[in-house]
């Protein structure tokens, strides 16, 4: 018996990736697109494994559901991971700083790194900050658990500066950054300095605007994340999921229509995606008018 045949419940047949979205009282074929954070969501926070999500990813491929990475990782990191995992080749990198469109082409949405790095050093003169640009490869490997090659890719920044903050005056630091036309967003391991209007949510909107016309049906969007830097993305999709942390807790999030997973990390990702796909399949099979995804 093959590994796929030995997996838990096989993927259900979903003809053409269309279903009945919530709050629509008539049947309307649509295309589901899943936007996802990586570290702590699709990938295990410590090991970077996506093994618990493997079956759900297979089902997405069989159902022709695009899974789009939306991550704080660099273009170089995300391109490698997207190919390795089998995600959509058009992804969002550096917390919405850019959208990778095709070979060697991307849409920049943030402040160029050289300018951002200059602004970071101004802040670092006032606050106890240590940016990724200050770190040796060996230090970055120790902090993140990445390999040396992966750490080198992580330092290929274009639109953001991840940093560690050793102080206790975050509000003052945020105000100083805002005074320079910048913002600070908290991720899983690092804070991130980036352009004031840069966000995963804005980049998801831009992705849909740039690439949505390539689909022959209206889009229904879902997103999965686990940290505050994901909240803007969760706010702009039709069905947001907040994935539980390894410590058993979920981030406090004020979005009213959010679904919180019971499982953590990639297992929580699988839980959410299989729920989406099961509801999609039920709608396709029955043609019911009130299927809730």
Q: 263 falls in which pLDDT band (50, 70, 90)?
A: very high
Verify that 65 and 210 share a domain, yes or no.
yes
Say whether pLDDT at 202 is over 70: yes
Does 21 reside within a domain?
A: no
In this prediction, residues 97-110 reach a mean pLDDT of 93
- Name, in order, each residue with C-beta under 8 angstroms of 247's C-beta and a sequence gap of 6 or more: none
Domain that holds residue 46: 31-108+199-286
User: Which of 167, 195, 223 represents a domain boundary (last residue)?
Assistant: 195
Instruction: Quote the pLDDT of residue 11.
Output: 61
Verify that 46 and 177 share a domain, yes or no.
no
Say whether pLDDT at 13 is over 60: no
In this prediction, residues 265-280 reach a mean pLDDT of 92
Instruction: Quote the pLDDT of residue 250.
Output: 63
Reported as a single tens digit per residue, the pLDDT across 92-102 is 999 999 999 98
The domain that contains 216 carries what CATH number? Answer: 3.40.50.1000
How high does pLDDT run on average in the chain? 86
Does 222 reside within a domain?
A: yes
Verify that 93 and 146 share a domain, yes or no.
no
Sheet holding 182-186, edge to edge: 129-131, 161-165, 191-195, 182-186
Verify that 98 and 203 share a domain, yes or no.
yes
Does 88 reside within a domain?
A: yes
Does 25 reside within a domain?
A: no
The domain that contains 170 carries what CATH number? Answer: 3.30.980.20
Verify that 258 and 213 share a domain, yes or no.
yes
Q: Which of 37, 44, 88, 230 is catalytic?
A: 37
User: Which of 169, 195, 221 represents a domain boundary (last residue)?
Assistant: 195
Tally of structural domains, the chain = 2
Does 210 reside within a domain?
A: yes
Does 142 reside within a domain?
A: yes
Active site residue 37: yes
Verify that 203 and 158 share a domain, yes or no.
no
Does 15 reside within a domain?
A: no
Verify that 60 and 73 share a domain, yes or no.
yes
Cα(92)–Cα(204) distance, integer angstroms: 8
In this prediction, residues 9-27 reach a mean pLDDT of 42
Reported as a single tens digit per residue, the pLDDT across 212-255 is 888 878 899 999 999 888 999 999 999 999 999 876 666 667 67
User: Which of 170, 195, 220 represents a domain boundary (last residue)?
Assistant: 195
Say whether pLDDT at 124 is over 70: yes
Instruction: Quote the pLDDT of residue 248.
Output: 60
Verify that 77 and 210 share a domain, yes or no.
yes
In this prediction, residues 247-270 reach a mean pLDDT of 83
In this prediction, residues 162-185 reach a mean pLDDT of 96
Instruction: Quote the pLDDT of residue 217.
Output: 81
- Determine contact, residues 78/154, Cβ cutoff 8 Å: no
For residue 111, the number of C-alpha atoms closer than 13 Å in the C-beta half-sphere is 19
More confident residue, 279 or 93: 93
Does 293 reside within a domain?
A: no
For the chain, give the percent of residues with pLDDT over 70.
Answer: 83
Verify that 184 and 137 share a domain, yes or no.
yes
Instruction: Quote the pLDDT of residue 14.
Output: 44
Verify that 206 and 187 share a domain, yes or no.
no
Verify that 240 and 182 share a domain, yes or no.
no
Verify that 74 and 206 share a domain, yes or no.
yes
Instruction: Quote the pLDDT of residue 257.
Output: 84
Cα(93)–Cα(75) distance, integer angstroms: 6
DSSP string over the chain: --TTTTSSSPPPP-TTS----TT-SS----EEEEEE-TBTTTB-TTT---GGGHHHHHHHHHTT--EEEB-SS-HHHHHHHHHHHT--SS-EETTTTEEEEETTEEEE-S--HHHHHHHHHHHHTTS-EEEGGG--HHHHHHHH---HHHHHHHT--SS-EEEEE--S-HHHHHHHHHHTTEEEEE-SS-EEEEETT--HHHHHHHHHHHHGGGSSS-EEEEEEE-SGGGHHHHHTSSEEEEEEPTTS-------TT-EEEEEEHHHHHHHHHHHHHHHHHHHHHH--S----
Instruction: Quote the pLDDT of residue 18.
Output: 38
Q: What are phi and psi of 260, to 5 degrees?
A: -100, 135
Instruction: Quote the pLDDT of residue 255.
Output: 77
Sign of CA dihedral 287, 271, 192, 77: negative
Q: Quick one: which of 91, 154, 165 has its CA closest to 126? A: 165
Cα(139)–Cα(25) distance, integer angstroms: 55
Predicted structure pTM score: 0.86
Say whether pLDDT at 139 is over 90: yes
Reported as a single tens digit per residue, the pLDDT across 19-61 is 333 333 333 367 899 999 999 999 999 999 999 999 999 999 9
End-to-end alpha-carbon separation of the chain, Å?
33
């Amino acid at each position: 018996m093959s590994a796929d045949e030995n997996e838990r419940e096989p993927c259900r047949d979903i003809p053409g990736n269309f279903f009945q979205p919530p709050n629509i009282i008539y049947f309307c074929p649509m295309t589901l697109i899943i936007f996802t954070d990586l570290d702590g969501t699709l990938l295990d926070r410590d090991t970077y494994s996506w093994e618990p999500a493997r079956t759900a990813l297979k089902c997405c491929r069989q159902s022709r559901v695009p899974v789009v990475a939306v991550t704080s990782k660099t273009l170089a990191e995300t391109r490698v991971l997207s190919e390795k995992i089998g995600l959509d080749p058009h992804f969002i990198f550096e917390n919405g700083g850019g959208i990778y469109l095709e070979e060697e082409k991307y849409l920049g949405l943030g402040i160029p790194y050289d300018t951002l790095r200059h602004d970071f050093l101004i802040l670092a003169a006032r606050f106890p900050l240590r940016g990724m640009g200050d770190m040796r490869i060996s230090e970055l490997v120790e902090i993140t658990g990445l390999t040396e090659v992966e750490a080198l890719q992580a330092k290929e920044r274009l639109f953001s500066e991840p940093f560690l903050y050793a102080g206790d005056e975050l509000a003052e630091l945020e105000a100083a950054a805002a005074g320079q036309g910048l913002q600070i967003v908290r991720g899983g391991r690092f804070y991130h300095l980036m352009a004031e209007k840069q966000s995963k949510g804005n980049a998801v909107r831009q992705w849909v605007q740039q690439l949505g016309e390539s689909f022959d049906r209206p889009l229904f969007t879902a997103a999965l994340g686990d940290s505050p830097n994901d909240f803007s993305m969760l706010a702009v999709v039709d069905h947001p999921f907040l994935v539980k942390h390894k410590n058993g807790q979920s981030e406090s999030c004020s979005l009213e229509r959010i679904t919180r997973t019971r499982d953590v990390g990639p297992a929580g990702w699988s839980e959410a995606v299989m729920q989406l796909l099961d509801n999609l399949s039920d709608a396709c099979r029955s043609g019911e008018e009130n299927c809730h995804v």
